[in-house]
Amino acid sequence: MHKILTSAALSIGIVVLGACSIPERGPGVPAADTARALPLGIPNARFFADGDPKAMMEEGVRSFEREQAVWRAEGRKPTRPPPVYFLAVSGGGDNGAFGAGLMNGWTALGTRPEFKMVTGVSTGALVAPFAYLGPDYDDALRDVYTTMTPDKVFRPRGLTAALFDDAMADTGPLAQVIETYANQKMFDAIAREYRKGRLLLIGTTHLDAQRPVIWNIGAIAASGHPGGLELFRKILRASAAIPGLFQPVLFDVEVDGKKYQEMHVDGGAIAQLFLYPPSLNVGAAEFRRERHAYIIRNARLDPDYAASERRTISIAGRAINTMLAASGQNDVLRTYFVSQRDGVDYNLAYIGADFSAPKAGEFDQTYMRALYAYGFQEGKDGRAWHKLPPGLGHTAADKTGSAKR
């Protein structure tokens, strides 16, 4: 009887395992052709942050030329180019409510500039299009981060997803939220601003190639390609695809007539924020302008103490959180030193130790609303911006005061 039961159990196990097949995907791009793969065939749709900076430099030059064309059309002939303002918004999951509140509070203060370039990673990628398009989109940005709940972001899967699926949660609900806000009207507005010489850049991680990708959203919008809007939505979803937790996003590409698929996940797997690749020569003539960089780190930068349980999964989780925190701090330092090298005015905002609202779980609406209100007040009072990252100077005496332009 024991042998019969054992054989039956094994048979059932084999059937169950057979039914739980791993999700399929198309063939990956050959390593040698990684840079040649062009989504939708748009040549300047994206750049590899760790690759040859020439293409990005050329895009910067073209953006300046478009800016000059606007001046000529308006009859303006500035003796020197006006100052430019850069904005970089980091990842941080539901802590993106801080960045959303800060942007809206900054509008209320009345000193928020129009940004020449906006970059975003993960939750920062969701904030970035609204920040790029200006105060007209403040209400929509507020709604996204004050009405968000877990069921609007993901649907949990069973434990078997760890072995037989591509993530522990299905982000179909998030895709619907993105589709609601990243609509044709927004896409057309991005295209118009791109034609004026402004840039919107979103970061993802090309998981197959282990390379950071910078997507040129304005160029995609201005291309007129019928698949552009859907590509934009997929990029936003990919940038927020936390590996293992949220589904990766597959991008269809073609090389020499052959079709392939790339797997992309959260840009924060490599960098949780970026201003511009350090390899760029921003000393070129067209970039020699008064420049101001504003960095929003959607996280605290002080240690987050918590006694760890002596359990494998608890220890692993705590270690991963520690590594992510250290990575975010390193990204902040990197942008600071690059900006100092290039003579760019540096301004950093982050969640201070004075914010202490409790958090019941991921995407807890009460917590997010409190954090939004905190960010809003920081922006409205003009006290958000620090001239130095923590550890490089006194945090109480290094603020800009009013984020004056």
* Inter-CA distances, 134 with 43, 87, 180, 196, 358, Å: 27, 12, 18, 14, 31
Distance of CA 152 to the CA centre of its chain: 19
The answer to whether residues 376 and 108 touch, using CB atoms and an 8 Å cutoff, is yes
pLDDT (tens digit per residue) in 57-90: 999 999 999 999 999 998 887 778 889 999 999 9
pLDDT at 232: 98
pLDDT (tens digit per residue) in 101-115: 999 999 999 999 999
pLDDT (tens digit per residue) in 201-223: 999 999 999 999 999 999 999 99
pLDDT at 169: 82
pLDDT at 345: 96
Q: Is the pLDDT of residue 13 over 70?
A: no
Beta bridge partners of residue 269, listed in sequence order: none
The answer to whether residues 245 and 156 touch, using CB atoms and an 8 Å cutoff, is no
The confidence band for 347, taking pLDDT boundaries of 50, 70 and 90, is very high
Q: Considering the chain, what percentage of its residues have pLDDT values greater than 70?
A: 89
DSSP 277: -
pLDDT (tens digit per residue) in 24-39: 888 999 999 999 998 9
pLDDT at 21: 64
- 287/337: higher pLDDT: 337
Q: Is the pTM of this model over 0.85?
A: yes
